[in-house]
């Protein structure tokens, strides 16, 4: 299991060091209140859209051509 742990750690470090976590989107709606339909309470999150499709939910790092503040 150690080789896998070392590989996973190296990949995480590489991604953080190279800034791969910051992406570019067409649209980001920030600080919106989302309900996922599971019956759990709504939560605040960002929504990223690219090519007319939702591609990410949660706390989104990155930029978009258009950003909307939903607060």
Q: Which residue has the higher pLDDT, 2 or 64?
A: 64
For the stretch 4-57, pLDDT in tens is: 555 555 556 554 444 445 679 999 999 999 998 999 999 999 999 999 999 999
3-state helix, strand, coil in the chain (%, to 5): 25, 50, 30
**pLDDT bucket at 64, cuts 50 / 70 / 90:** very high
pLDDT at 7: 55
pLDDT at 23: 78
d(CA 6, CA 67): 38
For residues 60 and 21, is the Cβ–Cβ distance under 8 A?
A: no
Sorted by where each starts, the structural domains of the chain and their CATH numbers stand as 21-69 (2.30.40.10)
pLDDT at 9: 57
| pTM given for the model | 0.65
């Amino acid at each position: 299991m150690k080789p896998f742990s070392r590989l996973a750690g190296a990949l995480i470090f590489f991604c953080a060091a190279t800034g791969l976590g910051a992406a570019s989107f067409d649209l980001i709606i920030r600080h919106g209140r989302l309900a996922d339909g599971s019956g759990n309470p709504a939560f605040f999150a960002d929504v990223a859209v690219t090519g007319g499709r939702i591609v990410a939910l949660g706390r989104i790092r990155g930029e978009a051509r258009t950003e909307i503040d939903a607060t």
